[in-house]
Every structure is written in C-alpha cells, then in structure tokens.
Structure 1
Amino acid sequence: MEGLSENLIKYGKRGNAMNMIGIVEAVGGRFSRELGIDLEGGRSGEIFKWFLASVLFGARISETIVKHTFRAFEQAGVTTPEKIERTGWDGLVSILDRGGYVRYDFKTATKLLELCRTLRERYQNDLGRLHAEASDPRDLEERLKALTKGIGNVTVTIFLRELRGIWKKARPLPSDLVMLAAGNLGLISSTDEREQALALLQERWMESGGREKDFPDCESALLRVGKNYCRKKICDACPARTACRSAATTGRY
C-alpha cells in the first residue's frame, strides 16, 4: 500500500488520470468483475446476474453480506428470472437468509418476484430488450425503475455504471459518493455539474492511457474511496490520502 501511496504522490499533484489508475490498483475496480460476472460480452444471462447483484447492493447493507448473498443465489442455481419466479417467495427468503441478508429478506424477496414478473410480461425476460426499447439514457433509467416498486436511483446507477460502454444508452451521472471522492482528489471542482464532472473524469482517465472501456473501473474505484473513506472521514487509512486535497488541508498525511 505504501508503494501505491508514493505513486499517487508522484502523479497526483494535478489530480490527473494517472492518479486515478493508481487508485483503481489500490482499492479495486468493478464490483461485477469481483463477483465473477463477465459483462463485456453483453450476454443477457450475465447482465441479469449483475442486475440481481445491483438490487442487493442497492440496500443499506454491507458489501460483505451482499457478496455472500449473491454467492448463495449462485450456489442455489437461482440467477435467472425464470429460476427466481420458480423458486417462489419462501425459497427466496431462505436464500437471502443463508447469505446473511436477513434485515431486508422479506421485502427483497417480494421485489425480486415482482421485477421478474414485469420483466417476463413486458420484455420476455430480457433486459437487453428493455434497453433496445428505451428511447434515450433517461428513458432507460425510468424503465428499470418501473420494473417494480423499490428500484430507485441508487440501484439503477449501480447497475448502469458498469454497463457504460456495453449498453449504448447506459450513461448514468456520477453518484454523490463518486462526486465526493473526485472533489477531494482534485479531479473535479466543487462547482462542476454532474454532466461536466463525468466528462472531466472520462477525459482525465483517457489522457493518461486509461482505456475507454475500462472507465467503469475508475468510477467504481472512486465510489469505494468515497464510501469507505471520504464519507467516514477516515483519511489516515485511505490509500489515496497523499493525493487528496481534503487530507492535505487538514494535515492528515
């Protein structure tokens, strides 16, 4: 970790994209990849697995529990809309409980059944069809939220962030936590609007050699920094602290 911090000092003075690559190396990138989900081929089955994981991530619950719960769904062989409907409410609650998702087990089981029913009735169990029928990025987001009550901006942003570059209309704006981390690291200014901030982050990522298709790694890394360090003000433990304006002004490194 110290080596990465030194690298961030070297390249982070102007908050450029080389700094961002170092952060990805330090804290990790896409959550889908961490779960073993391969989105790059755009396959319907893999995309639905990521949607299932995004629904789990969308609740106020620890990443560890979400990962355990997703593994429980995999072990049960319940990772398709058809299997979810066939498993039924009691079976879904059992899987959720095995993963440790007990705080939200009842409501999440209901949510999963309702979204799968809507997906079957309106889009033939294919999220790719939903994307194809959407007229633009905002319509895509609204169609996802309309699958069932309880799918909101947080879940949709989690889902679409990692489909950027795979689905043409997947263009979510940066979340609050991404904005927080990017601002602290000097990658954007406090006056930047979200669309402007997104363009700046993409530009800086590309300028230093980051590949366009890997930009979701950058966003996910900033989310991790914002969630695990900036929001909690745990500057001393943050791998990016030596490139952070906030930590520098408070003397925390």
Structure 2
Amino acid sequence: MTSRRPLDELLERHGTTYADEAGVRLRDKPQPLYQLLVLSHLLSARIRAGIAVAAARALFAHRLSTPRRMAGATWQERVDALGEGGYRRYDERTATQLEDEAVLVLDDHGGDLRHLRREADGDRDALSAGLRRFPGIGPAGADIFLREVQTVWPEFAPYFDPKALRGAERLGLPTSPEKLARLAGDRDPALVAAALVRGAAARS
C-alpha cells in the first residue's frame, strides 16, 4: 500500500488552489463561479501560472469580477488591467475574449454558471462541453475549472485532470484517479489536484 506521507508533505508545501491564490472565495454563488471561469481562462494560456493569477487579481481589483461589469468595461480597461498583472503576451486577444465570454454568460446563463451545473447533472463530459462553448476556454481551461470547482460541486469529485496525473507520475504517486482518491482519503480533492500540479511545476 502506498504511504500517505509523500502526499501529506506535498499538501503541506503546495496545498493551495489557484482560486485561493487569486483571492477568489469559491462558493456555489454566481460571482465566485464567474471569477473561477475568468481565472481558468487566463491559466489555460501558455504563460506562467503566477502571471495568470496576478492578472486575475488585477481584473478583480478593477471590479471586473462579474460578467456584467466585464462586458460593460471598455476593451482598453481590460487590456490595462491585464497589463498590470503582467499578462502582456496575449492581452489584446484576451481582452476581446473576456468581453465575448461575459456576454455569453449573461445571454445564455443569466449571469449564473450554476445553470451549467444543472444542465450537466453530474456528467463531467457534459460540463466540460458546456465550458468549452465560452470563447477562450478550450480543453485545458475546462480541466482547470473542473479541477477547482469540485470543492463546491462535489458531484464532479474526485477530478484529477491530465496535468494533475502527470504531476502524480513525476512525484512518484499513483497515476490513476481512483488510487489517488483513495490515497487522499477525506482531503479536498481540489487541494490535492492543485498540489500535484504545483509540486510538479516546482520540480521543473
């Protein structure tokens, strides 16, 4: 049987979700769920995670933390906020995508991503497909959202995306979601998944 000590040590060093780092107090409420969508969008780009988190914090500091405020901001306001977070490589395209994304959240979901939860009805593939309809959210962004949202949407837990599983392999931990879930026990699977991703990144 695999010892839990390596996982305990990993959680001690890296057991923080990206939502927590970005200042998102994740709950099953419209605003934090929208903030998680924005964060997942930013994290899915080929850019350092720390920059994506800083850019999300900058957007939220500028009160662009609801789909209505994001859609109502000017393109330049979004570009400037992204730039404050150091998110410059993709800032112009991302500023446009964030507006289109916010409009879709408002038009198709009434500003409330819990509609996606109800539509998916516990089906991860259905939830992933619903997320990928948003501009800028591809498979990687959907994985990040699922990885973090399982804290408040437990019907999708335990969820360990390919990046978390690659982290488990690099760290010498089980590489099947079922074995990881058994090893994690009653620990929050979102924290475990985040620690696997962060721990592997720290070794690269």
Instruction: Tell me the TM-score normalized by structure 1.
Output: 0.74
Does the CA contact (< 8 Å) of 1:15 and 1:186 recur in 2? no
Aligned to 1:144: 131
Aligned letter for 1:114?
Answer: D
1:223 aligns with 2:197: yes
Choose 1 or 2 for highest CA Rg.
1
What SS does the aligned partner of 2:156 have? coil
Give the counterpart of 1:200 among 179, 184, 195. Answer: 179
Mapped contact 1:137–1:172 kept (Cα < 8 A): no
Residue identity matched to 1:23: L
Is it true that 1:20 corresponds to 2:13 in the alignment?
no
Structure 1 gaps of 5+ residues are 1-13, 190-196, 233-253
**What's the counterpart of residue 100 of structure 1?**
86
RMSD (Å), alpha carbons:
1.9
- Corresponding residue for 1:72? 58
Hey, what's the Cα distance between the residues in 1 that align with 2:67 and 2:25? 18
Q: Does residue 161 in structure 1 map to residue 154 in structure 2?
A: no
Identity among equivalent positions (%) equals: 27
Which residue number corresponds to residue 180 of structure 1? 166
Q: Is the 8 A contact 1:58 1:158 kept in 2?
A: yes
**TM-score (norm. length: structure 2):** 0.90
The size of the alignment, in residue pairs, is 203
Whichever residue aligns with residue 222 of structure 1, its letter is L
In structure 2, list runs of 5 or more residues that go unmatched. none
CA shift digits 1:165-218 (9 cap, x unpaired): 4224535853333222312333225xxxxxxx1111010111xxxx24x12111
- Which stretch shows the higher mean deviation, 157-166 or 175-184? 175-184
Cα displacement (A) at 1:221: 0.5
Distance, in Å, in 2 between the alignment partners of 1:157 and 1:172 is 13
Give 2:120's match in structure 1, choosing from 111, 134, 137: 134
